[in-house]
Copies of this chain bind each other. A is one copy, B any other.
Amino acid sequence: MPRLTDIRKQALDEMMKEAFFEATVAVLNEHGVEGMTMDRVAAAAGVAKGSLYRYFRGKRDLLEFVFTKVVDPIFQAFEELAAKQQPAIELLSGHLEALLEHVAKHARVHRLLFEDDAAHGLLQPSERRTSEAAGRQMATVFQQGIEEGVFRPQDPLLLAHMYLGLTKGVLQSRPPLDEPEHRKDVHRLIIGTFLSGIATDKGRVAFDG
């Protein structure tokens, strides 16, 4: 039964990687990105340092794994939503909902990998890739919205960057996201602002004038 053994082996591998993921997060939590050493990760995982290198080619590899593990679900959630062929605004809304939920669940890690901005040195490439991928993904929504006539015609990629930037800005101010109502508030704030702006009628007049 080499087949079964292989499967089992693969499963074990996955479990190990999972363990390393959690160990890494724990270390990141306790020592920050600068203090994340392979020694500490191995110790946190309860294995010898050498073993780490059986599962990851190096530190960069490990961090990319962690990064991906945190980021990927958001992309997948989007893909799932997009598959449902909804109107752009609902797509946007649904995606934001999923995003906020995800951030709420992985608050600690998010803070470390995104807000504190400290890991970026080590995973710049994958970071940029991610950021760009997210931009492209969102751009399709805006493209769709423009076609639907609900968004003003504009470069969709630029819109995506603005939207993502605005969202990141809100998240960087660390609003409470634990309770569903909190998330609802933030959701309304982001979508409302991005769709309708912050100006009153008076303000809009002042601006146009």
- Please give the residue numbers on chain A whose beta carbons come within 8 Å of chain B beta carbons, in ascending order: 32-34, 87, 89, 116-122, 124, 127-128, 131, 135, 142, 145, 149-152, 154, 157-159, 161-170, 172-173, 175, 189-200, 202-204, 206-207
Contact = CB atoms under 8 A, between A and B. Distances in A.
A108 to B, nearest CB: 16
A52 to B, nearest CB: 17
| Copies of this chain, count | 4
A159 B198 CA distance: 8
Describe A's contact surface by its main secondary structure: helix
B207 A196 contact: yes
A150 B117 contact: no
Contact of A154 (B32, B128, B198, B202): B198
A115 to B, nearest CB: 9
28 contacts: A32-B124, A89-B207, A117-B118, A117-B120, A135-B173, A142-B198, A149-B202, A150-B207, A151-B199, A151-B203, A152-B198, A154-B189, A157-B173, A158-B170, A159-B198, A161-B169, A161-B172, A161-B173, A162-B169, A165-B168, A165-B172, A166-B166, A166-B169, A191-B207, A192-B207, A195-B198, A196-B196, A196-B199
